[in-house]
Amino acid sequence: MIEPYVDHLVREEDGHKVISYGLSSFGYDLRISNEFYIFSNVCGSAVVDPKAFPEEAMVQRVVRPHEAIIVPPNTYVLGKSVEYVRVPDDVMTVCIGKSTYARCGIIVNVTPLEAGWEGQVTIEISNSTPLPAKVYACEGILQVLFFKGERPAVTYADRRGKYQGTKGVVFSRI
């Protein structure tokens, strides 16, 4: 269901504190990878359109594990999970940003992972503060909560959802 899977909450690596990840009391804390896309106005785009996403407005930044990227004030960044997630047909998830970041004005958004969906999770990060903020690569960023129910008549996989099987950061698709 989650690869790589860590069966406990990791708070330290090689003697250094990290933002926790792995199995928690009622969910699983995912890590953000070391690849980020930062919104920039270098292309002169005035509008972000979800029907015609301006990929040229994104600047890619790759950092070393545990290195921080700087998220400029009032800016939005896209990243991806380290983990590849497979959601069973009778489960759906809700993802919530970790309080460590929320208390610093960093808002983490991920839409629900639907029954039957699989892939690397595209993670949306917003710096709501007037100051630059750090986000640490390969450390915890969000918690996934799992809800078991009846299998829906049509799963995300059954309907061949547009984000099924994604690997890497995926921009808006219609």
**Residues recognised as catalytic:** 124
Q: What are phi and psi of 85, to 5 degrees?
A: -115, 135
Number of Cβ within a 10 Å radius of residue 57 = 19
Distance CA(164)–CA(120), nearest Å, equals 9
- Which DSSP category does 7 fall into? S
Residues composing the chain: 174
What's the 3-state SS for 48-108? Answer: CCCCCCCHHHEEEEECCCCCEEEECCCCEEEEEEEEEEECCCCEEEEEEECHHHHCCCEEE
